[in-house]
Amino acid sequence: MEYSITALAKISGVSSRTLRYYDQIGLLKPARVNSAGYRIYGLQQVDRLQQILYFKSFGLPLEEIRHLLDDPKQDVQSLLVAHYHRLSRERAALDRLLTTLAQTITYYEGEQKMSDEEKFAYFKQQKLAANEEAYGEEIRAAYGEKVVEESNQKWQNMSFDTYQELQQTENDLFEALKQLVSQPFDVTTDLAQTVFQLHKKWLQEAAPFYSADYHRSLGEMYIQDARFTAYYDQKAGEGAAACLQAVIAHYAD
């Protein structure tokens, strides 16, 4: 089926003026121009306009969308599938937040009891989902599916008291790391040993098991993967990830 610019504007909700602009910048060219000088759009252009609107809703600028759609190496379907899964995860997270909020409101109104664990369940799930999104693939490649799933299960089943202790241990670790980074580095100092012990304590609570080899391999990942490096450097200062790795390598045995 073919559409005039007016007809395409009507079914898509995109104004004729915008469609003419898309033509001008090379984002959406008509299939042809008829003898009367009118733009005519076919199925291929309809599909492309739908893709444009999807990518606009994802926050991509028009120029980036044009390059993406014109790149023969790009698989637009795979990109849309990836965005679908991302949005599904976001919706699931929002549903969990709404459920927790509703429970909290009824708890404040005295209509429902809420355990301490329930009060923090959403926040634990949110952090787990964020870690999975950022590091899941790399961690699975390094340690295997079973280890990661056991770690996730341990995190989800963690008691409120243990969760609080874990958070405090991590905060103490960042503070000690900040001090270590701020002075000439010496792996043999009491402060360096404190950093190691805090990280070991945190890992023993967070991971499904502990071993010196596991600890050292995790330290290596902190300097090999730029995202882990950035995480520690942002929390405790530039060079924090490298210092932490050196401390782990020295004391883990």
Residues sharing a CB contact under 8 Å with residue 2, sequence separation 6 or more, in sequence order: 31, 40, 41, 42
Q: Residues 240-251: pLDDT tens digits? A: 999 999 999 999
Tokens of 117: 């664990």
**105-110: Cβ within 8 A, 24+ apart:** none
Band of the pLDDT at 97, cuts 50, 70, 90? Answer: confident
Closest CA to 44 of 98, 101, 3: 3
Cα separation values, 251 from 33, 63, 200, 218, 243, Å: 74, 52, 10, 14, 12
The residue with tokens 């950035």 is 230
Q: Residues 186-238: pLDDT tens digits? A: 999 999 999 999 999 998 887 777 889 889 988 998 999 888 899 899 999 99
Q: Residues 121-136: pLDDT tens digits? A: 777 777 777 666 666 6
- What is the pTM for the complete model shown? 0.49
Q: Regarding predicted confidence, which is higher, 140 or 3?
A: 3
